Structure 1
């Protein structure tokens, strides 16, 4: 397979992960030992690096295959992370975390009502004045750009690819995980609701969350219609 980077999205690399984790820790500004829920953690690249920095990390994902990979990577990195398989629509935490992160367009896979309720469940999971950091694709940018993406794990063992088509605010995404060693391929097809910033602000407001800042990338650039990402930092009101 050809290593391809389209648009402004970076291939998965150690350097990319380092930048993303630096950004996450900078904007959250938490103390070592405080608790973070990595909601839909995938195969744990953020969760593992955050755990290395001394945070108490819980990684949750609906896909057991990803969690199995994450657990193996965490063991190799010698960090202790609680991994849990669960649909985000069934979150049942109550004021347990200082922060919740939701990275790499892992939100919007359900109906509008279900998506809005997920934000309410996240708010419930946060401690008073807790922080929520969500990384979304920028719908305005998506309209004008190609979103196909391809990531190779630094070890070369795994490849993760996305193919995306956008129409009327609905993105159809095909995600494929390939084990380069065994040749095993796992494909998941998703329909993703791409929200605008005003829509997200309304959902947050109805869930007791207030937007603090909005970024256009992990380099901290300001959000605009020209940035590929819409990264929102919000705080629980009480």
Structure 2
């Protein structure tokens, strides 16, 4: 049972049930996004990419298959242990706190699939942007793939039941105090579980404020994985490119 929401991600992300619930994520869409993004950035094979909060490494592995030298990092030891089986000379995985610089130089740092805004302290969000800046090479680019909070809130499904691999997940979503919450309850292996995801509802204006404080420059935004124009009402994603 998760009681303290300040570090909810360290508990929930490290369970096998998290990966069960989200096992049907669209891998085709993820590959399309990586194809479009690397082409737009004109990245060349062999260039170094940091996949920040990589989870079990699905983006890292695909980026490596395109010829890039990829380092995937995540706070979840179990996720990194799983991803490490795919390592090779140009693909490495490490346990790392994204609030801190990795202390290497990368052509691109990617933070994908709404892997931002989890922290209890606002300063940790700013520290993450500053850490990305530190890890970028002179002409490097940072990318944050976040949800479009306006679209998400307008289309929020308050209650949902989803059965995956024999486990029935009861999901409730709501907003409170500028956060978006998802409560997930289920029974598995003879136990009752209850986890709550909490993500800060960062708008484009919020990110621009963070970027100004971190000393980085926002030079482009997209609203979907096809790199369509960002629209505050209709775009499902808020994809930010900065340096």
TM-score range, shorter chain: 0.7 to 0.9
Q: How does 1:97-176 map to 2 (within 5 A)?
A: 97-110=106-119, 111-146=121-156, 164-174=173-183
Q: How does 1:66-77 map to 2 (within 5 A)?
A: 66-72=79-85, 74=86
Cα–Cα, structure 1 residues 136 and 167, in superposed 2: closer, same or farther, change >3 Å? Answer: same
Give the number of equivalent residue pairs. 216
Structure 2 gaps, min length 5: 1-23
Give me the whole-angstrom Cα distance separating, in 1, the residues matched to 2:73 and 2:235. Answer: 28
Residue 81 (1) aligns with residue 94 (2):
no
TM-score normalised by the chain length of structure 1: 0.77
Deviation at 1:29, TM superposition (A): 1.8
Cα–Cα, structure 1 residues 41 and 193, in superposed 2: closer, same or farther, change >3 Å? Answer: same
Give me the whole-angstrom Cα distance separating, in 1, the residues matched to 2:191 and 2:44. Answer: 40
Give me the whole-angstrom Cα distance separating, in 2, the residues matched to 1:48 and 1:171. Answer: 30
Deviation at 1:166, TM superposition (A): 2.3
Q: Which deviates more from structure 2 when the two are superposed, residues 51-60 or residues 140-149?
A: 140-149
Deviation at 1:165, TM superposition (A): 2.7
Deviation at 1:168, TM superposition (A): 3.6
Secondary structure of 2:28's partner?
A: helix
Deviation at 1:97, TM superposition (A): 0.8
Deviation at 1:120, TM superposition (A): 0.7
Deviation at 1:14, TM superposition (A): 3.6
Q: 1:7 corresponds to which residue?
A: none
1:41-65 Cα shifts (integer Å, max 9, x gaps): 0111110010111111000011122
Deviation at 1:200, TM superposition (A): 0.5
1:160-195 Cα shifts (integer Å, max 9, x gaps): 99864323420123579xx9xx99999753321121
Cα–Cα, structure 1 residues 100 and 187, in superposed 2: closer, same or farther, change >3 Å? Answer: farther
Structure 1 gaps, min length 5: 1-10
Secondary structure of 2:145's partner?
A: strand
1:174-232 Cα shifts (integer Å, max 9, x gaps): 579xx9xx999997533211211111012112222111111110011111122111001
Cα–Cα, structure 1 residues 187 and 227, in superposed 2: closer, same or farther, change >3 Å? Answer: same
